[in-house]
């Protein structure tokens, strides 16, 4: 096996072991919350059962039988009635019972293509009844036509439709459908390379792009189509490499789930591709990382794995590129990256899908703090939130990014929650009335907060709250090597120096960085917001698509 294949085998072995030991529910499934997890876990269990190169401690015959039975249960609840409005679909969750659960358009989008892959890869190992049941389900998927939709938003749904067109067009010798898939692939590639991806940093959306097109690349036989899929996958892995830091996804996100922030745990595809961190025991989105793989270009691997010189990444991103009239409607992302940390975010606030935009943070490589979180950030909550929820940010924030400094101001109206939340990694922290100074791995971090705050040390993070309708935060980071070059030779010396650098808070926030850059963030509600660096206004002309 290659190193990549060894990492995939490790994933398969771990998930198969979990599937083998997990008891089957009374309804015949392993999971009720998301039907797709049953397919994924059964696939991994089946793979371990039939492949002697996969480490597996259980009875392989018993494991294969269990995997096949779960597959049968899954295939039986597909809507196979051509006259139905949900023809070809599955329920998403299985309550109150799998048979009564409402059908949903989401499962088949990715799972349908992966079923084709599974049926083809393991054809010689499948029992005759399961092979027939899979073929029947795939035929219903093909005839359902769920994927026959024109491109409009160039997002993850359409990426999956495009892959399905290619895969099903080839499998059923449907030349018209195959050509539609080719045309959709070309149009998507042209649009994202010219304008960028509107779903910036959106997990798991990004991985659905990768899985859909990798699945098509694995299955498609025609060399010319395969080359065009390689172009798309090279582009996607270049995007990933650009924002990669030891398994972390740095910079702003158009969407975050609890497994994306404040700790990166949706990392299986990163582990297979880059392998520069330990495979975590927690795997919240297994999907098909153990099966599908595409070798990223050498240039992308170098970008991801050899960060020595600090860089600034300035990008313009389309808000929505479904029509030509929105072509110039862009937002601007800024990231400063070193080999030890990265920081930055999105200058503009957008109410993204489910209000899950993640505006800014400081990111560290996975494992920097053991099992603790690897992101630090503050935000004003959009509404009253459950305890521990660190998502759903309001619009009452203005930001300034410059190299190793992030500044944020919060002017909160009286009808909104009167506090900001913060998350900091575990480390050695010195707490003062309006500041926190931390040694986080090999990085010194200073956090200045305009109002009084409360810090609670939890098992995997520090949770911070600060009350007040007007608030502000300034964060500056520097790693030990750069600090030493500035004459800062210890954490205590860093703390003593930063005590003298308290920002000026008011209608504007003024701060001078360790590198003597003068930063000014004006947030007077009666004036236009302005961000000034060394007496110069922010200029977005240097922000590019790539």
Cβ neighbours of residue 335 closer than 8 Å, sequence gap 6 or more = 243, 250, 251, 312, 313, 342, 343, 344, 345
Q: Quick one: pLDDT at residue 328?
A: 60
Mean pLDDT by runs of 10 across the 546 residues of the chain is: 93 98 97 97 98 96 98 98 98 97 97 98 98 98 97 95 98 98 98 95 96 98 98 98 98 95 97 96 94 97 95 93 56 97 96 92 97 97 82 95 97 95 97 97 98 97 97 98 97 98 94 97 72 92 92
The DSSP line for 357-376 is: -B-EEEE--TTTTTTS--EE
Which of 87, 111, 135 is the last residue in one of the domains? 111
Task: With respect to residue 134, please indicate whether it lies within any of the assigned structural domains.
Answer: no
Task: With respect to residue 273, please indicate whether it lies within any of the assigned structural domains.
Answer: no
Which range marks the domain in which residue 25 is found?
1-111
Task: With respect to residue 158, please indicate whether it lies within any of the assigned structural domains.
Answer: no
Nearest-10 crossing angle of helices 223-242, 175-195: 30
Number of domains comprising the chain: 2
Task: With respect to residue 15, please indicate whether it lies within any of the assigned structural domains.
Answer: yes
Q: Quick one: pLDDT at residue 527?
A: 60
The DSSP line for 405-428 is: EEEEEEE--TTS-SEEEEEE-SSE
Task: With respect to residue 218, please indicate whether it lies within any of the assigned structural domains.
Answer: no
Q: Quick one: pLDDT at residue 326?
A: 47
Q: Quick one: pLDDT at residue 524?
A: 63
Task: With respect to residue 275, please indicate whether it lies within any of the assigned structural domains.
Answer: no
Beta carbons of 228 and 180 less than 8 angstroms apart: no
Cβ neighbours of residue 215 closer than 8 Å, sequence gap 6 or more = 113, 114, 116, 117, 163, 167, 288, 292
Task: With respect to residue 198, please indicate whether it lies within any of the assigned structural domains.
Answer: no
Q: How many CB atoms lie within 10 A of CB 182?
A: 20
Which of 78, 111, 144 is the last residue in one of the domains? 111
Cis previous bond, 204, omega within 30 = yes
Q: How many CB atoms lie within 10 A of CB 421?
A: 19
Distance in Å from the first CA to the final CA of the chain = 35
Helix, strand and coil in the chain, % to nearest 5: 35, 20, 40
Which of 44, 76, 111 is the last residue in one of the domains? 111
Q: Enter the pTM of the model.
A: 0.96
Q: Quick one: pLDDT at residue 65?
A: 98
Rounded distance between C-alpha atoms, residue 344 and residue 313, angstroms: 9
Task: With respect to residue 525, please indicate whether it lies within any of the assigned structural domains.
Answer: yes
């Amino acid at each position: 096996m290659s190193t990549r294949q060894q990492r995939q085998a490790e994933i398969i072995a771990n998930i198969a072991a979990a599937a083998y030991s997990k008891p089957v529910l009374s309804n015949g499934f392993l999971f009720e919350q998301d039907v797709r997890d049953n397919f994924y876990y059964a696939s991994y269990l089946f793979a371990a059962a039939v492949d002697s190169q996969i480490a597996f401690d259980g009875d392989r015959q018993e494991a294969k039988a269990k995997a096949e039975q779960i597959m049968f249960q899954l295939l039986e609840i597909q809507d196979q009635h051509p006259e139905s409005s949900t023809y070809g679909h599955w329920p998403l969750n299985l309550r109150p019972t799998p048979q009564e659960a409402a059908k949903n358009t989401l499962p088949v989008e990715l799972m349908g293509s992966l079923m084709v892959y599974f049926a083809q890869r393991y054809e010689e190992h499948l029992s005759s009844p399961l092979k027939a049941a899979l073929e029947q389900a795939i035929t219903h998927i093909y005839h359902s036509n769920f994927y026959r939709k024109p491109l409009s938003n160039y997002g993850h749904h359409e990426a999956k439709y495009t892959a399905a067109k290619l895969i099903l067009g080839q499998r059923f010798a449907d030349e018209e459908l195959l050509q539609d898939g080719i045309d959709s692939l070309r149009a998507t590639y042209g649009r994202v390379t010219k304008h960028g991806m509107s779903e910036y940093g959106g997990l798991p959306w990004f991985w659905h792009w990768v899985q859909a097109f990798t699945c098509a690349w694995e299955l498609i036989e025609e060399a010319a189509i395969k080359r065009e899929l390689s172009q798309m996958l090279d582009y996607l892995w270049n995007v990933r490499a650009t924002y990669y830091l030891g398994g972390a996804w740095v910079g702003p996100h158009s969407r975050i789930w609890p497994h994306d922030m404040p700790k990166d745990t949706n990392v299986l595809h990163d582990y297979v591709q880059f392998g520069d961190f330990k495979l975590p025991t927690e795997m919240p989105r297994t999907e098909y990382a153990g099966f599908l793989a595409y070798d990223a270009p050498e240039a992308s691997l170098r970008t991801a794995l050899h960060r020595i010189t600090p860089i600034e990444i300035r990008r313009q991103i389309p808000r929505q590129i479904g029509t030509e009239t929105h072509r110039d409607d862009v937002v601007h992302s800024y990231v400063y990256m070193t080999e030890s940390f990265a920081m930055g975010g999105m200058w503009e606030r957008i109410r993204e899908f489910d209000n899950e935009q993640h505006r800014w943070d400081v990111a560290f490589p996975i494992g920097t703090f053991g099992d603790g979180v690897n992101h630090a950030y503050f935000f004003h909550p959009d509404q009253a939130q459950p305890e521990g929820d660190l998502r759903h940010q309001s619009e009452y924030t203005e930001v300034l990014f410059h190299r190793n400094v992030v500044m944020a101001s919060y002017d909160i109206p009286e009808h909104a929650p009167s506090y900001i939340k913060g998350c900091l990694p575990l480390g050695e922290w010195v707490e003062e009335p309006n500041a926190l100074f931390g040694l986080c791995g090999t990085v010194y971090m200073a956090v200045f907060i305009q109002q009084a705050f409360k810090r609670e040390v939890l098992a995997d993070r520090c949770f911070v709250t600060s009350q007040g309708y007007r608030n502000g935060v300034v964060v500056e980071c520097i790693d030990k090597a750069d600090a030493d070059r500035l004459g800062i030779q210890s954490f205590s010396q860093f703390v003593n120096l930063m005590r003298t650098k308290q920002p000026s808070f008011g209608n504007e926030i003024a701060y001078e960085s360790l590198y003597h850059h003068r930063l000014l963030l004006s947030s007077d509600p009666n004036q236009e917001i302005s961000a000034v660096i060394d007496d110069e206004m922010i200029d977005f002309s240097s922000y590019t698509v790539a």
